[in-house]
Amino acid sequence: MPSPDPLDEKLDAIAQHPFRAKFHLHGRERVTAELSSPSTMRLHAHDLIARRLAPAEPHRDGKQTPYRGHPVFVAQHATATCCRTCLERWHLIPKGRELSREERGYVVDVICRWIEREVAG
């Protein structure tokens, strides 16, 4: 039997938190995710993370991620990748410094995996 994917295990653990568990794709966000290719969604996630989360001191940190308007925003709240405080608490990526290329890639992987699971489920 294959071992569970660490990313899926992380998402399952985060989903146990009552606040995180209430986020799902509905309406326009769901349609956008269903109609967009995975590569398009990944590009959107890369762009949003680079502008809103990656800086050492993001503008309005803790309030920079809307709750609606794009599947990536919903996914960020569901996966605790919405602000640097949540990123530090849930993913052990420290605040106060710019995210590395690898960390940005990890955050995008987390977001995109959550979206894939939402669309498939």
Give DSSP secondary structure letters for 26-55.
-HHHHHHHHHS-HHHHHHHHHHHHHHHTSS
pTM beyond 0.85, yes or no: yes
Decide if 111 is inside a domain. Answer: yes
Residue 2 lies in a domain: no
What's phi and psi for 2, nearest 5 deg? -70, 150
Produce one character per residue of 15-40: b if its CB has 16 or more CB atoms within 10 Å, e if not.
Answer: beeeebeebebeeebbebbeebeeee
Q: Is residue 1 part of a domain?
A: no
- pLDDT higher than threshold 80 for residue 58: yes
| pLDDT for the residue 1 | 54
Q: If pLDDT is split at 50, 70 and 90, which confidence band does 60 have?
A: confident
Domain with 59 in it = 7-120
Q: Is there a domain that residue 97 lies in?
A: yes
The contacts of residue 96 (CB under 8 Å, 6+ apart) are 56, 57, 84
Domain count along the chain: 1
User: What pLDDT was estimated at residue 2?
Assistant: 59
Distance CA 36, CA 29 (A): 11
Q: Is residue 50 part of a domain?
A: yes
